């Protein structure tokens, strides 16, 4: 029985945003200098929750006071962004973060303390406006998707499942050679039915399409997904929902290199910069199917298919070893040490040396059957 | 056979006029103006009169190298019988007493007369009257160089038509006005700085500048004092003994003629120096005098010289003077307590001006004065320059180029000049120490001022920073509230809050201890 997912109620989102703003006005009316309390989003306030096995935001909060000249600009930006988001919600618009950047970009003219006329932009770069959006997310506990903010998506999904979106049922097993493009706000989708035993997430788009052409998901009764490299928020959210609501095991397939390992790490535990969303985006039980550094010998990858690891790969792998979820896994320590020792990386396609169907007919089924994944 | 003959003082100075500053047409014109202006000031301020001086410089008969200088003052005037001697007899004057004065030897103005006489063959014109006199009198005078005596060409005496006192002097000399102009104007400007109680009008072919007095307060005039025993030499001893009763005992001589010497001090000194206090001074031999002079120098238990002979300007007047001439944004002045070097009392006064119309430069601008005479030359070798250049101005928050000027004034019965030029003060340790203390104290006050300004700007910056975002914030909040009229109310409230915040900050920054009790925003 799937766990019930509640579609986000737009009215509630709007109320919560308004409450956040009204709270500031209330302070002013009570003759208090206005301030906003925002949980800190830096690495120093990111903690590893062993119990939940995800990265979470710590308890430290920053108090942003309008009358503190070091923070008054950020305060103004936060309130400005809040009003723009509220307007979009009131008017039923779905702006992108770039739209928000442009909508809020004004020129302020003023006279400085020496009497000179000067101008200043409400924000100069999108970095600044993005940072404010993140502040509002953590301060209100709402994700940007809930607030109707769009972003580029690149995730795809195919398999035996039916979803409902904007009143239509969509059968993801009937997409032909194509696949369903995962939309920005995954929580607005209603998953009506899932008929699958597990989820396979592949790093590469090309591999996804090859497996989709072979109808791999139909033959193996699974859901096939890709995040096209480093996954975006909606792909991660979709993976999480399938695991959380349908208890499906999730397998991640990437190249055997530091970059691939890190992609797994993001699906599993979240990224540091978005640690406040881990609870909604991370899948702590995701399994790493391969390719592992020990696969190189195990599956007799030809020597000329092996790529030498660069200094950056090595540096990255060392960093991964320090991550708590890798540090606490014997299998991962073993694999990462092999990688660091041999300094060898391979792509998924290297398995094609054993034939094009080796991946779908042998490698994946065998690894799952023999439980040769690592966590 | 060679003929020997003595030179009269007039002859001596006629032959060596460059010693007195009359070396060329530029310098001579400058020097003549100086002498006349200083005489006028001495005739007024020293006698409790607020100076009212008019100085006029005009080319004579369209001849560019002949310049007529005319000066009018409201001084005490010169008694009718004294005029010829005062203006036309070298080494004759009222300044042969021990007190601070601009000139000492009564030489300057006579040099100007002498110079006029030899370069343009014109006599000096003097009109004067003293307050108690019913008459006013006009003289035209030459100097008999050979005999060092005045030659009166003309004398008119009239009944005064209106009540006045003072002196008018006019003389025509060879000079170069275009080249001397800047120096003379600067000299008058600086004189106006050090004499804020004086109204000085300078009329030149190009312009008429009036420095109106900014204060009606005159500094205490100096008193005539006695010599300090540390400052004597054999010649002085001889002069003093000559003027005294030859039968006077050494003990009485010391107590009567020297500053701060009582009976006890005199006895102690005699005992220490090996002199019989009852010795008659007329019986002292040259060897005795040499020994006495040396011992008086070395003895270290004399009382400090009394500064009554000095007339410092005082910090208030100095500040007024600096304000009127430099028009700075900030000015501070110090008048140090009296000190002495080698038996000569002296007082150091300094001022520091910042901002406003003070010119911006890479090093502090320096204006030096000695006994209220501006020193325009040889700044680079002056002790004040040395001290200023040795200071690390960063310590006082001064970053060059900066609008900073420093004024130094030394008052003494004997100014420790460096060399014969009388334009630079020598590095006498006692003087250097006093200058250092005074300059650094003014610099500390400047630092306090700059810190206050900095804090003021900091507060202002805060206000500006927050105010500039006010519109964005209130507009956004009013929209969020869904309240069209809300913007005005929110803005008004926020402005009130900001004002309170700024006020609170200003109080805390101002260092008022009760800041904690200041009205809180809640």
Other C-beta atoms lying within 10 Å of the C-beta of residue A177: 8
Confidence of residue A8 (pLDDT cuts 50, 70, 90): low
Is A15 in the B-facing interface, judged by CB distances under 8 Å?
no
Topology annotation, domain B310-445? Ribosomal Protein S5; domain 2 (3.30.230)
Above pLDDT 70, what percent of chain A?
Answer: 97
Last residue of a domain, one of A109, A140, A171: A140
Interface test with B, best of A19, A73, A79, A105 (most B CBs within 10 A): A79
- Would residue A149 count as lying in a domain? no
- Write the CA distances from B283 to B16, B296, B414, integer angstroms: 38, 18, 30
Asked if residue B161 lies in contact with residue B293, where contact means CB atoms within 8 angstroms, the answer is no
> Does residue A249 have a pLDDT over 60?
yes
Q: Which two tokens stand for residue A1?
A: 């029985």
Mean pLDDT by 10 residues, chain B (522 residues): 59 70 86 91 90 93 84 93 81 54 62 87 93 92 85 92 93 92 94 95 94 91 79 82 86 87 90 90 88 87 78 92 95 92 90 95 96 91 95 94 96 87 89 96 96 88 90 92 79 89 68 35 32
Task: Report the C-alpha gap between A118 and A314 in whole angstroms.
Answer: 49
Residues of B with Cβ-Cβ distance to A111 under 8 angstroms: 464
> Does residue A230 have a pLDDT over 50?
yes
Asked if residue A273 lies in contact with residue A230, where contact means CB atoms within 8 angstroms, the answer is no
**How many domains would you assign to chain A?**
2
DSSP B169-182: EEEEEE--HHHHHH
CATH number attached to the domain at B229-298: 1.10.8.50
Per the prediction, chain A carries an average pLDDT of 90
Q: Which two tokens stand for residue B321?
A: 């003077």
Domain that residue A317 falls in: 156-369
- Would residue A147 count as lying in a domain? no
- Would residue A151 count as lying in a domain? no
Instruction: Tell me how far apart the 2 most distant CA atoms of chain A are, in Å.
Output: 76
Q: What is the pLDDT of residue B520?
A: 34
**C-alpha angle with apex A156: A279 to A207, nearest 5 degrees?**
115
- Would residue A150 count as lying in a domain? no
Secondary-structure percent of chain A, ordered helix, strand, coil, rounded to 5: 45, 20, 35
Cβ-defined contact of A21 to B460 (cutoff 8 Å): no
Q: Phi/psi at A13 (nearest 5 deg)?
A: -60, -45
Beta-carbon contacts of residue B495 (< 8 Å; ≥ 6 apart): B470
On whether both A275 and A309 belong to a single domain, the answer is: yes
Q: What is the pLDDT of residue B83?
A: 87
Alpha helices in chain A (DSSP H): 10-29, 72-91, 97-104, 126-140, 205-213, 216-220, 233-246, 258-269, 278-281, 295-298, 311-322, 324-327, 330-342, 364-369
- Would residue A3 count as lying in a domain? no
On whether both A222 and A338 belong to a single domain, the answer is: yes
- Write the CA distances from B476 to A83, A271, B471, B487, integer angstroms: 5, 32, 8, 9
On whether both A351 and A261 belong to a single domain, the answer is: yes
CB proximity under 8 Å: B 464-493 to A: 464-469, 471-473, 475-477, 479-482, 486, 490, 493
Could you tell me which chain A residue has the CA closest to the CA of B462?
A: A69
ipTM of the complex: 0.80
Is B497 in the A-facing interface, judged by CB distances under 8 Å?
yes
B358 to chain A, closest Cα gap in Å: 19
- Would residue A4 count as lying in a domain? no
Asked if residue A81 lies in contact with residue A132, where contact means CB atoms within 8 angstroms, the answer is yes
Asked if residue B324 lies in contact with residue B192, where contact means CB atoms within 8 angstroms, the answer is yes
Is A18 in the B-facing interface, judged by CB distances under 8 Å?
yes
Is A315 in the B-facing interface, judged by CB distances under 8 Å?
no
On whether both A134 and A233 belong to a single domain, the answer is: no
Alpha helices in B176-218 (DSSP H): 177-194
Choose between A350 and A44: higher pLDDT: A350
Last residue of a domain, one of A110, A140, A170: A140
Task: Report the C-alpha gap between B228 and B476 in whole angstroms.
Answer: 82
Q: What is the pLDDT of residue B36?
A: 92
DSSP, collapsed to helix, strand or coil, labels residue B144 as strand
Q: What is the pLDDT of residue B94?
A: 53
Q: What is the pTM assigned to this prediction?
A: 0.64
Q: Which H or E run includes B467? A: helix B429-481
Q: What is the pLDDT of residue B99?
A: 58
Above pLDDT 90, what percent of chain A?
Answer: 66
- Write the CA distances from A157 to A262, A366, B510, integer angstroms: 21, 23, 67
On whether both A241 and A129 belong to a single domain, the answer is: no
Q: What is the pLDDT of residue A258?
A: 92
CB pairs under 8 A between A and B: 94
Task: Report the C-alpha gap between B412 and A25 in whole angstroms.
Answer: 71
| Domain B9-211 sits in CATH 3.30.565.10 | yes
A251 in active site:
no
pLDDT digits (tens, 9 = 90+) for A76-101: 999 999 999 999 999 989 999 999 99
Last residue of a domain, one of A115, A140, A165: A140
User: What's the CATH number where A76 sits?
Assistant: 1.10.10.10
Residue A100 burial (C-beta neighbours within 10 Å; 0-12, 13-18, 19+): buried
Provide the 8-state DSSP code for A363: I
Choose among B10, B158, B176: nearest CA to B87: B10
Q: What is the pLDDT of residue B517?
A: 33
Buried b (16+ CB within 10 A) or exposed e, B464-499: bbbbbbbebbbbbbbbbbeeeebbebbbebbeebbe
Q: What is the pLDDT of residue B243?
A: 81
Task: Report the C-alpha gap between B382 and B371 in whole angstroms.
Answer: 15
On whether both A120 and A15 belong to a single domain, the answer is: yes
Comparing A125-134, A287-296, B469-478, B510-519, the range with the smallest average pLDDT is B510-519
Asked if residue B130 lies in contact with residue B75, where contact means CB atoms within 8 angstroms, the answer is no
Per the prediction, chain B carries an average pLDDT of 86
On whether both A96 and A243 belong to a single domain, the answer is: no
Q: Where are the domains of chain B?
A: 9-211, 229-298, 310-445, 449-517
On whether both A197 and A335 belong to a single domain, the answer is: yes
On whether both A94 and A234 belong to a single domain, the answer is: no
Asked if residue B19 lies in contact with residue B33, where contact means CB atoms within 8 angstroms, the answer is no
- Catalytic position from the list A102, A246, A251, A299: A102
On whether both A171 and A136 belong to a single domain, the answer is: no
Choose among B393, B70, B67, B326: nearest CA to B192: B326
User: Which of B461, B486, B497 has the CB atom closest to A31's CB atom?
Assistant: B497
- Write the CA distances from A220 to A159, A198, A201, A309, B51, integer angstroms: 10, 9, 14, 34, 115
On whether both A136 and A194 belong to a single domain, the answer is: no
On whether both A304 and A360 belong to a single domain, the answer is: yes
């Amino acid at each position: 029985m799937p766990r019930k997912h509640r579609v986000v109620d737009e009215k509630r989102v709007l109320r919560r945003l308004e409450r956040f703003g009204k709270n500031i006005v209330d302070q002013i009316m009570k003759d208090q200098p206005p301030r906003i309390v925002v949980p800190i989003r830096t690495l120093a306030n990111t903690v590893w929750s062993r119990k939940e096995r995800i990265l979470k935001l710590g308890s430290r909060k920053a108090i942003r006071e309008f009358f503190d000249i070091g923070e008054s600009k950020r305060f103004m930006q936060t309130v400005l962004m809040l009003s723009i988001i509220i307007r979009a919600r009131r008017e039923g618009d779905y702006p992108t973060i770039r739209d928000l950047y442009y909508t809020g970009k004004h020129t302020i003219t003023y006279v400085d303390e020496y009497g000179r006329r000067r101008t200043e932009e409400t924000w100069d770069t999108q970095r600044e406006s993005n940072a404010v959006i993140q502040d509002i997310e953590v301060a209100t506990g709402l994700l940007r998707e809930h607030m109707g903010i769009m972003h580029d998506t690149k995730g795809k999904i195919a398999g035996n499942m039916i979803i409902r979106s904007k009143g239509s049922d969509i059968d993801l097993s009937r997409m032909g050679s194509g696949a369903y493009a995962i939309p920005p706000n995954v929580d607005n989708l209603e998953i009506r039915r899932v008929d699958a035993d597990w989820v396979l997430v592949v790093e590469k788009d090309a591999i996804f399409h090859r497996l989709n052409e072979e109808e791999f998901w139909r033959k193996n009764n699974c859901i096939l997904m890709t995040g096209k490299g480093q996954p975006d928020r909606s792909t991660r959210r979709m993976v999480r929902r399938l695991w959380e609501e349908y208890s499906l095991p999730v397998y991640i397939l990437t190249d055997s290199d530091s970059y691939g390992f890190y992609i797994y790490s993001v699906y599993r535990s979240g990224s540091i910069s978005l640690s406040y969303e881990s609870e909604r985006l991370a899948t702590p039980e995701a399994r790493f199917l391969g390719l592992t550094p020990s696969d190189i010998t195990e599956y007799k990858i030809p020597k000329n298919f092996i790529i030498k690891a660069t200094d950056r790969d090595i540096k990255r792998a060392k960093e991964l070893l320090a991550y708590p979820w890798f540090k606490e896994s014997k299998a991962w320590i073993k694999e990462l040490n092999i990688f660091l020792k041999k300094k060898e990386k391979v792509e998924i396609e290297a398995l094609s040396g054993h034939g094009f169907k080796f991946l779908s007919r042998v490698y994946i089924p065998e690894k799952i059957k023999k439980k040769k994944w690592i966590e | 056979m060679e003929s020997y003959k003595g030179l009269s003082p007039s002859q001596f100075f006629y032959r060596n006029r460059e010693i007195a500053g009359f070396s060329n047409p530029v310098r001579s014109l400058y020097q003549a103006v100086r002498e006349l202006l200083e005489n006028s000031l001495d005739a007024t301020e020293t006698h409790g009169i607020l100076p009212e001086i008019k100085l006029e410089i005009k080319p004579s008969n369209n001849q560019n190298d002949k310049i007529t200088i005319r000066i009018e003052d409201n001084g005490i005037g010169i008694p009718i019988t004294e005029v010829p001697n005062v203006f036309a007899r070298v080494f004759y004057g009222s300044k042969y007493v021990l007190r601070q004065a601009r000139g000492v030897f009564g030489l300057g103005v006579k040099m100007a007369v002498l110079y006029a006489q030899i370069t343009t063959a014109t006599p000096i014109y003097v009109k004067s009257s003293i307050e108690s006199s019913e008459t006013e009198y006009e003289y035209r005078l030459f100097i008999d160089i050979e005999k060092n005596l005045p030659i009166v060409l003309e004398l008119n005496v009239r009944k005064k038509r209106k009540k006045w006192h003072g002196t008018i002097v006019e003389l025509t000399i060879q000079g170069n006005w275009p080249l001397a102009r800047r120096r003379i104007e600067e000299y008058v400007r600086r004189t106006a700085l050090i004499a804020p109680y004086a109204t000085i009008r300078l009329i030149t072919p190009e312009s008429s500048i009036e420095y109106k007095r900014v204060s009606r307060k005159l500094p205490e005039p100096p008193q005539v004092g006695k010599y300090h025993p540390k400052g004597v030499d054999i010649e002085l001893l001889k002069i003093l003994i000559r003027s005294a009763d030859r039968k006077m005992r050494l003990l009485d001589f010391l107590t009567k003629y020297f500053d701060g010497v009582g009976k006890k001090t005199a006895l102690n000194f005699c005992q220490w120096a090996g002199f019989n206090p009852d010795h008659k001074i007329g019986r002292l031999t040259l060897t005795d005098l040499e020994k006495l002079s040396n011992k008086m120098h070395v003895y270290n238990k004399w009382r400090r010289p009394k500064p009554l002979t000095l007339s410092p300007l005082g910090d208030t007047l100095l500040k007024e003077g600096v304000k009127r001439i430099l028009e700075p944004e900030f000015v501070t002045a110090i008048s140090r307590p009296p000190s002495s070097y080698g038996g000569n009392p002296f007082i150091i006064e300094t001022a520091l001006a910042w901002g406003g119309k003070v010119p911006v430069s890479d090093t502090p601008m320096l204006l030096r004065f000695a006994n209220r005479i501006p020193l325009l030359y040889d700044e680079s070798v002056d002790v004040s320059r040395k001290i200023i250049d040795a200071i690390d101005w960063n310590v006082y928050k001064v970053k060059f180029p900066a609008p900073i000027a420093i004024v130094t004034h030394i008052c003494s019965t004997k100014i420790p000049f460096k060399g014969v030029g009388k334009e630079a003060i020598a590095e006498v340790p006692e003087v250097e120490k006093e200058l250092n203390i005074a300059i650094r104290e003014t610099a500390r006050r400047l630092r306090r001022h700059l810190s206050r300004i900095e804090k003021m700007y900091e507060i202002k910056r805060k206000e500006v920073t927050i105010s500039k975002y006010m519109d964005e914030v209130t507009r956004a909040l009013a929209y969020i509230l869904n309240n069209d009229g809300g913007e005005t109310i929110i803005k008004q409230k926020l402005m009130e809050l900001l004002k309170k915040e700024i006020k609170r900050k200003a109080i805390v920054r101002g260092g008022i201890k009760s800041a904690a009790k200041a009205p809180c925003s809640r």
